[in-house]
Chains A and B, each alone.
Chain A
């Protein structure tokens, strides 16, 4: 049996003292010891980015780090992204652009995107795609994620938001809204 170790660290601005086994990854410590289950596990090998947290300003796969290595570090997780009930611009833009389908990749993308915008408030699309290349999303094809991050950067910089994707052409549906509103139901 491994002997547990006391680790002192800072998580989302709060000092934390925790007890973990030396073999536990930071991701395991966050999820199972501290019950911060917002960081997700997709692979445990550093390939999917679902576990991304920001440590001392840099995005890190928390599955590749040991919990004991967190000592003395400043760690930000998705749970600390919003301020109270006010969402971070990135969170808001992910919602507006429908950038999540299943949502399992979302915490990791948000943290990678936050680390990017903190360093580079005005990234090009290529820079956004490069910064997010370590995060896998299997649902969206990334299009709406890239749009959300672009829009978030613009909003945070006070620029006007880029146009949303076109609204689809008039429908040829047999049922119209008027029919429904008038109670002419099928």
Chain B
């Protein structure tokens, strides 16, 4: 590896080949579905064909009689859970709801809701058995949109659901109402020269990871269980599976397999407890994998939403007031990311008067799960397009109006406390000074749009151990599963601190018995928090190595320094300095092996901002939008492995473009999901996207030893609004619905044309 350096770092900022790379390009890496065990059975799930129905009875005798069928379970086999919240990484989860989502209890709440699970000797026999299970349903009218759910007299999904405002006696579909307030919006709007108010609708969309959910449960005669699965959080799987099954956590070991994408969608459990339950019933390992249709129908997409956004500004472009109203589809159980939507929608700007109301609404759709900066993209679609209109009214460049109003160090956040060091303005300036924005866009039906986005990032808990081997190589053991190259970054941090070559460090992701508690890979936290733990664990090694050197040299540990990868005494007096490689073989003689350890409950997270610039060309005859060029500038704090940082920026932008243009859950009027495959749930392909340009901005997070901010999420926030703004500048229509698919955009273009013709006729 060439010895390149960035800002004096030897390893950090370089682009080494990831340690798990060879396994992943040779097909050797084991993802959850790649495991198999002797005597293994195959599990399948029966799913509700109704979006809303009472379950009157489930008869399994015929299915059980099929040769090869070993066990069938329903919610009657799971303990009834109290209505209790449990932390699960970024979210808190109600265990009663979680259990009833894994196997429906009395009521089916969406098309695809799990009703029963079968274990059989082959997946095909399990499939046949599903067809023999007899379920008597009493169909109920489905409630598919927040508007319908909020109507007086709307069918009620959860009879026990209450909210504070409506009181303890009122059945409701509103799980929560949140409000954020600053100043006086009525007074604020009075100062405004321009006020724009629009209503937006965004469709429910899925994370779209290519690997379907999977789990293998192995329940042993001694009461211990092991779960192999692809998850973003092995400790979450352990905690939630134990809770749902009524086992103690220590009885379950979770072995995280390689994971084929998650984007937030693999931070909860579906199959994991079922595989253990079926294994418990049969005494065999039970493997369960979902089909793509099951993934789309019954895992956790992110909310569709209705958002109203009103913004007022003075003639010179100063935003003086903003009022927002957000209602998000939670799915069949409470827990949409509407709170995050409310807290992010105005966060990029310093606005003296704000009022934000947010509603979490249950509807007969799958229970939503986290999706990359959950809730923020919907929100930014509203605020960032309204701001574009205001910029136009004021005659301001869209970047300049953002720089004029942009949040900086000390700006109060929506929730109150001021931002510490942030790099929002820096992202705007990076785009403004970049080649893309400076280039001229010419041609008919072409337009350029910009938009920005904010995401909190999270810290949470991580553990790391660093082992020094006798040959001077190092192993780094962590609990954060690697979803996008983070393993390499962790190894780089250890290599940097210890003064060793990156190829002398092997990172390993351990199971839940072999490493301390580590929260989910999510919230852009892995390099920030787990990286911090690795940094501290490596420093712990250095401390111990100094003690050993002191022993060898008959000095005090304070008299040993570690500089440029070499241990030496403060007073040289003839002693030969030693590198870690030279120290390593001497460990046995100086006190035994060295294991560096650290745990963190990382505080002081660095919030993330990104700004996106896109050029589009719209075909006015079909409504199809082609992305011509796309650039993202994002404040990442410090890029450990720049290639994988760019990868996160590009990947989020690609998902945001898909969300903008094509992706949507399409339910028919009976509440049945009609696009359950990847042909009809249309994610961007290679042909739909141009090269994705990245501008890494590095404004270090104060408090973090390396200034890392976290990089995984905010890139998905600006694209839908940026594309909407570009479409406006291309063809003059303001889109207020996602996705801006060809039929929807064509309709808007034709409407505008018709309005123009009427006007022209009136003028004649």
Q: Which among A44, A103, A164, A174 is the interface contact of B24 at CB below 8 angstroms?
A: A103
**Once the chains are docked, how many angstroms separate the CA of A140 from the CA of B67?**
45
Would you call B705 and A138 a contact (CB within 8 A)?
A: no
Would you call A106 and B24 a contact (CB within 8 A)?
A: yes
Q: Which among B292, B561, B648 is the interface contact of A42 at CB below 8 angstroms?
A: B292
**Once the chains are docked, how many angstroms separate the CA of A182 from the CA of B565?**
9
Question: Which partner residue on chain A sits nearest B68 by CB separation?
Answer: A1
**Once the chains are docked, how many angstroms separate the CA of A78 from the CA of B193?**
63
- Within A84-132, the residues touching B (CB, 8 Å) are 87, 91, 94-98, 100-107, 110, 128-130, 132
Given A43-B677, A47-B679, A185-B705, also A102-B483 (CB < 8 A)? yes
Would you call B292 and A43 a contact (CB within 8 A)?
A: yes
Given A104-B260, A129-B687, A183-B562, also A95-B25 (CB < 8 A)? yes
Would you call B26 and A173 a contact (CB within 8 A)?
A: no
Which residues of chain A are near B686, meaning CB under 8 Å?
128-130, 132-133, 135, 142, 145-146
Would you call A168 and B643 a contact (CB within 8 A)?
A: no
Cβ of A73 < 8 Å from any Cβ of B? no
CB distance from B232 to the nearest CB of A (A): 11
Question: Which partner residue on chain B sits nearest A144 by CB separation?
Answer: B647
**Once the chains are docked, how many angstroms separate the CA of A83 from the CA of B252?**
41
Would you call B707 and A82 a contact (CB within 8 A)?
A: no
Would you call B650 and A141 a contact (CB within 8 A)?
A: yes
**Once the chains are docked, how many angstroms separate the CA of A166 from the CA of B485?**
19
Binary per-residue interface labels of chain B (121-153) against chain A in the complex, 1 for a CB within 8 Å, 0 otherwise: 000100000000000000000000000000000
- Within A13-47, the residues touching B (CB, 8 Å) are 21, 23, 31-32, 35-45, 47
**A interface: dominant SS:** loop
Which residues of chain A are near B702, meaning CB under 8 Å?
174
CB distance from B510 to the nearest CB of A (A): 19
Which residues of chain A are near B9, meaning CB under 8 Å?
176-177, 180
Would you call B678 and A40 a contact (CB within 8 A)?
A: no
Would you call B209 and A171 a contact (CB within 8 A)?
A: no
State the interface size on chain A (CB cutoff 8 A): 80
Given A142-B686, A186-B705, also A82-B211 (CB < 8 A)? no
Would you call B7 and A176 a contact (CB within 8 A)?
A: yes
**Once the chains are docked, how many angstroms separate the CA of A40 from the CA of B648?**
23
Question: Which partner residue on chain A sits nearest B484 by CB separation?
Answer: A101
Would you call B564 and A100 a contact (CB within 8 A)?
A: no
Cβ of B750 < 8 Å from any Cβ of A? no
Cβ of B183 < 8 Å from any Cβ of A? no
Which residues of chain B are near A50, meaning CB under 8 Å?
210-211
Q: Which among A23, A32, A110, A139 is the interface contact of B647 at CB below 8 angstroms?
A: A139
Cβ of A157 < 8 Å from any Cβ of B? no
Would you call A36 and B654 a contact (CB within 8 A)?
A: no
**Once the chains are docked, how many angstroms separate the CA of A1 from the CA of B135?**
25
Question: Which partner residue on chain A sits nearest B292 by CB separation?
Answer: A43
Which residues of chain B are near A167, meaning CB under 8 Å?
4, 6, 13, 642
Which residues of chain B are near A6, meaning CB under 8 Å?
none
Given A42-B211, A138-B209, also A110-B6 (CB < 8 A)? no
Question: Which partner residue on chain A sits nearest B6 by CB separation?
Answer: A171
Would you call A95 and B22 a contact (CB within 8 A)?
A: yes
Would you call A44 and B706 a contact (CB within 8 A)?
A: no
Which residues of chain A are near B542, meaning CB under 8 Å?
183
Would you call A168 and B696 a contact (CB within 8 A)?
A: yes
Which residues of chain A are near B291, meaning CB under 8 Å?
44
Which residues of chain B are near A98, meaning CB under 8 Å?
15, 18, 485, 641, 643-644, 646-647
Which residues of chain B are near A95, meaning CB under 8 Å?
17-18, 21-22, 25
Which residues of chain B are near A41, meaning CB under 8 Å?
33, 212, 289
Would you call A136 and B683 a contact (CB within 8 A)?
A: yes
Binary per-residue interface labels of chain B (167-202) against chain A in the complex, 1 for a CB within 8 Å, 0 otherwise: 000000000000000000000000000000000000
Cβ of B208 < 8 Å from any Cβ of A? yes
Would you call B696 and A138 a contact (CB within 8 A)?
A: no
Q: Which among A79, A81, A176 is the interface contact of B8 at CB below 8 angstroms?
A: A176
Cβ of B499 < 8 Å from any Cβ of A? yes
- Within B519-569, the residues touching A (CB, 8 Å) are 539, 542, 561-565
Binary per-residue interface labels of chain B (468-500) against chain A in the complex, 1 for a CB within 8 Å, 0 otherwise: 000000000000000111000000000011010
Question: Which partner residue on chain B sits nearest A36 by CB separation?
Answer: B27
Cβ of B345 < 8 Å from any Cβ of A? no
Would you call B8 and A181 a contact (CB within 8 A)?
A: yes
Binary per-residue interface labels of chain B (596-638) against chain A in the complex, 1 for a CB within 8 Å, 0 otherwise: 0000000000000000000000000000000000000000011
Q: Lowest 5 CB-CB distances: which A-B pairs, in order?
A: A38-B27, A104-B260, A141-B654, A177-B8, A177-B9
Residues in chain B within 8 A of chain A (CB atoms): 4-10, 12-13, 15, 17-18, 20-22, 24-31, 33-34, 36, 67, 124, 207-212, 258-263, 289, 291-292, 483-485, 496-497, 499, 539, 542, 561-565, 637-639, 641-644, 646-648, 650-651, 653-655, 677-679, 683-687, 689, 691-692, 694, 696, 698-700, 702, 705-707
Q: A38-B27, A142-B692, A145-B686 are in contact. List 16 more A-B contacts (CB 8 A).
A: A23-B124, A38-B26, A43-B678, A95-B22, A100-B21, A101-B485, A102-B210, A102-B258, A106-B24, A138-B208, A141-B692, A168-B698, A171-B638, A173-B698, A176-B9, A178-B8
Residues in chain A within 8 A of chain B (CB atoms): 1-2, 21, 23, 31-32, 35-45, 47-48, 50, 77-79, 81-82, 87, 91, 94-98, 100-107, 110, 128-130, 132-146, 164-165, 167-183, 185-186
